[in-house]
């Protein structure tokens, strides 16, 4: 019996020592996991700060691009207004010039332009001339050319009427 008691005490001490050793190794693993968790949190926070800085930098660049885009658009619009004004002045001067030229000279110029394939340019000039002058020019041109120009004028008038009706 004494032997049983000693044997029992021996087993109890071995198991309790094993349990203590097991608890100690679990505690160590838990500590190691906490350290790894802290390292990961630090790493994540550093990456999050980098991300926020990069994001702020990209947003700043995007704002600068939009400002530059607006600046370019403003300059382009101003330049377009200047170009439109120049075209209007040139057109007005050229129309005055065609109105003051002798009829034969204008007809010869138009014939030469049409021979070079610039009938649309001739048409653009003619629609800006006075109606009386247009009729005199059409009389001097051959029938085929006059018919083509009259057809273009009719189409232009129809388009203008359609646009007026829409408004």
Domain-wise residue ranges, the chain: 55-87, 101-167
Whether the CB-CB separation of 133 and 144 falls below 8 Å is answered with: no
Q: What is the mean pLDDT of residues 129-136?
A: 82
| Angle between helices 119-126 and 103-115 in degrees, nearest 10 | 150
Q: What is the mean pLDDT of residues 50-65?
A: 95
Q: What is the pTM of this model?
A: 0.45
Q: What is the mean pLDDT of residues 69-83?
A: 94
Please check the confidence at residue 142 and state whether its pLDDT lies above 90: no
Q: What mean pLDDT, rounded, does the chain reach?
A: 82
What is the per-residue pLDDT for 30? 83
Q: Which residue has better confidence, 24 or 84?
A: 84
Q: What DSSP string describes the chain?
A: -HHHHHHHHHHHHHHHHHHHHHHHHHHHHHHHHHHHHHHHHHHHHHHHHHHHHHHHHHHHHHHHHHHHHHHHHHHHHHHHHHHHHHHHHHHHHHHHHHHHS-HHHHHHHHHHHHHTT-HHHHHHHHTTS-HHHHHHHHHHS-HHHHHHHHHHHHHHHHHHHHHHHH-
Please check the confidence at residue 23 and state whether its pLDDT lies above 70: no
What is the per-residue pLDDT for 13? 62
Rounded to whole angstroms, the Cα distance separating 17 from 12 reads 8
Rounded to whole angstroms, the Cα distance separating 128 from 91 reads 9
Q: Name the CA radius of gyration of the chain, rounded.
A: 47
pLDDT band at residue 147, thresholds of 50, 70 and 90?
confident
Q: What percent of the chain has pLDDT over 90?
A: 24
What is the per-residue pLDDT for 72? 95
Q: What is the mean pLDDT of residues 70-83?
A: 94
What is the per-residue pLDDT for 98? 74
């Amino acid at each position: 019996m004494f032997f049983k008691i000693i044997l029992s005490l021996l087993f109890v001490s071995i198991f309790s020592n094993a349990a203590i050793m097991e608890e100690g190794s679990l505690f160590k693993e838990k500590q190691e996991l906490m350290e790894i968790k802290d390292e990961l949190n630090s790493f994540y926070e550093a990456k999050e700060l980098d991300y926020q800085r990069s994001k702020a930098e990209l947003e700043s660049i995007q704002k600068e691009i939009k400002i530059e885009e607006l600046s370019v658009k403003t300059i382009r619009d101003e330049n377009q207004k200047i170009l439109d004004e120049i075209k209007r002045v040139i057109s007005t001067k050229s129309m005055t010039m065609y109105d003051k030229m002798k009829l034969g000279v204008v007809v010869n110029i138009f014939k030469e332009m049409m021979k070079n394939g610039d009938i649309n340019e001739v048409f653009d000039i003619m629609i800006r001339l006075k109606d009386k002058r247009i009729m005199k020019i059409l009389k001097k041109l051959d029938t085929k050319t006059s018919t083509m120009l009259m057809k273009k004028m009719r189409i232009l008038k129809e388009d203008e009427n359609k646009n007026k009706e829409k408004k």
